[in-house]
């Protein structure tokens, strides 16, 4: 009998006990209900940014059809899509594409720029794209965000004729003005959706569609998860159970939440998750610090600290129940590596045993953990998972009494950088840059 019922996603909470029990979570019913009520009624802080709540309505049917047509046209004309953006402007799309792209090199590759200011990265990327048919999707609400604006200046000459698409504000901004003057195809960054919640808008869906991923299934998973997130009882909703557990452990002194996966292609899902929770809840001196580990790789580096270091950690695993390639471990006549006891077993079985052993060992070592289980890593379950984390982040942020939809701390480094670079119109930032004080050999 399958563990899955209405959605191909479930939450295993066995390894939270005895630190967090179902009774503890049940006691959070009132807090969850109040947070969800404020969210749904639009009376919460940041209520101007709730457009993600109904993922089926982010795009109209006409907008969705136009987006699909654009993606297909770009696929016909080019070999590579260069996505230029930073933070939520690229992380959601990259998370989905890296999770779902074919194991072999795809016919239509997606690459990224604008998320750093590394001269080596940009130089290498230009060399890599030389001679290829390149499309560019530049994503920025304003068009003046430093990192993507620099990347677009430096890279736009690589684009094939007529293959630049701007995803930007509908009414104003430097990128909108440029797109109009240059005749770029345009899509809209919704004014009521913050970047970290924007993966199911045109911001994320155009690159995902270009990569050949079924965006209808992705949206269907998110929409069906949204439909199931009206009942605030955490005992009957895994997203709210997860939110309640985070709040309970935070108030008991846990400082760090680890996103842990045993599948390398989920690495960028963890990067998106870190932005979602870090930018939404890390304010007013509050919030769990979101970190991530890639197992089993990091069991041979970070594993020691997780098992025996300071007891400030909780852990959230994300695993798939099935759907992985059937690779069998062969027998070896001399058994010199002492692995014949695994001969005939599938790699995904061994990987799953490694997960079970890790979760048990970490629980025994004082790290309470829970596991989000997907039926398989595919568009429909991944869409549901995206919404699962989005709604849990919003609800747990409101339980923490912060605004989950602003990011005031992001501007601090920008103001100092603009002052140092001499950007017109920017005076003193009020933050001193210290002179170097070297200790040398």
Classify residue 87 as left (phi > 0), alpha (psi -120 to 50) or beta. Answer: left
- CB burial of 88-123 (b: ≥16 within 10 Å; e: otherwise) equals bbbbbbbbbbbbbbeeeebebbbebbbbeeeeeebe
Catalytic residue from among 147, 263, 279, 390: 279
Q: Which of 98, 112, 114, 101 is nearest to 294 (CA)?
A: 98
Q: Which of 173, 219, 235, 330 is nearest to 27 (CA)?
A: 235
d(CA 74, CA 266): 26
| 7, 11, 14, 20: CA torsion to nearest 10 | -130
Identify whether the C-beta of residue 286 lies closer than 8 Å to the C-beta of residue 251: no
Identify whether the C-beta of residue 314 lies closer than 8 Å to the C-beta of residue 257: yes
Catalytic residue flag (residue 279)? yes
Strands (DSSP E) along 6-46, which ranges? 9-12
d(CA 204, CA 85): 11
Distance of CA 361 to CAs 12, 194, 311, 321, 354, Å?
A: 16, 38, 14, 20, 10
Catalytic residue from among 127, 300, 428, 435: 300
Catalytic residue from among 68, 156, 414, 426: 414
Q: How far is CA 375 from the centre of its chain?
A: 19
Catalytic residue flag (residue 414)? yes
Strand-pair category, 80-84 with 289-294: unpaired
Residues sharing a CB contact under 8 Å with residue 123, sequence separation 6 or more, in sequence order: none
- Active site positions, annotated: 279, 300, 414
């Amino acid at each position: 009998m399958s563990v899955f019922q209405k959605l191909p996603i479930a939450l295993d909470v066995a390894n939270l006990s005895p630190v967090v029990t179902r009774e503890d979570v049940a006691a959070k019913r009132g807090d969850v209900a109040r947070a969800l009520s404020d969210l749904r009624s639009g009376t919460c802080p940041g209520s101007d940014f709730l457009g993600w709540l109904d993922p089926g309505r982010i795009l109209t049917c006409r907008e969705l059809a136009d987006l699909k047509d654009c993606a297909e046209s770009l696929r016909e004309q080019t070999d590579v899509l260069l996505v230029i953006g930073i933070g939520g402007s690229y992380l959601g799309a990259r998370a989905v594409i890296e999770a779902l792209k074919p194991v072999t090199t795809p016919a239509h590759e997606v690459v990224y720029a604008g998320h750093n200011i590394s001269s080596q990265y940009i130089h290498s990327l230009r060399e890599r794209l030389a001679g290829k048919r390149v499309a560019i999707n530049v994503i920025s609400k304003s068009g003046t965000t430093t990192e993507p604006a620099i990347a677009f200046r430096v890279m736009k000459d690589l684009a094939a004729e007529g293959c630049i698409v701007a995803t930007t504000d509908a009414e104003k901004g430097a990128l909108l003005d440029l797109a109009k003057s240059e005749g770029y195809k345009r899509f809209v960054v919704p004014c009521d959706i913050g970047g970290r919640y924007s993966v199911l808008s045109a911001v994320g869906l155009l690159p995902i569609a270009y990569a050949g991923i079924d965006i209808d299934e992705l949206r269907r998973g998110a929409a069906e998860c949204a439909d199931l997130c009206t009942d605030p009882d955490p005992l009957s909703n895994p997203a709210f159970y997860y939110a309640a557990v985070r709040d309970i452990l935070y108030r008991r002194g846990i400082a760090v939440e680890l996103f842990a996966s045993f599948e390398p292609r989920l690495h960028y899902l963890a990067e998106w998750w870190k932005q979602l929770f870090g930018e939404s809840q890390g304010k007013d001196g509050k919030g769990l610090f979101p970190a991530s580990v890639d197992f089993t790789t990091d069991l041979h580096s970070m594993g020691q600290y997780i098992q025996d270091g300071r007891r400030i950690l909780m852990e959230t695993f994300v695993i798939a129940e099935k759907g992985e390639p059937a690779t069998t471990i062969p027998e070896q006549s001399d058994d010199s590596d002492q692995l014949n006891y695994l001969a005939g077993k599938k790699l995904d079985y061994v990987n799953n045993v490694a997960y079970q052993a890790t979760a048990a060992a970490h629980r025994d070592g004082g790290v309470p953990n829970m596991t989000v289980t997907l039926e398989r890593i595919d568009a429909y379950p991944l869409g549901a998972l995206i919404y699962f984390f989005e709604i849990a982040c919003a609800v747990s942020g409101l339980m923490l009494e912060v605004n989950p939809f602003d990011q005031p701390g992001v501007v601090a480094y920008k103001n100092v950088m603009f002052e140092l670079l001499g950007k017109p119109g920017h005076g003193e930032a009020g933050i001193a840059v210290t002179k170097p004080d070297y200790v040398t050999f």
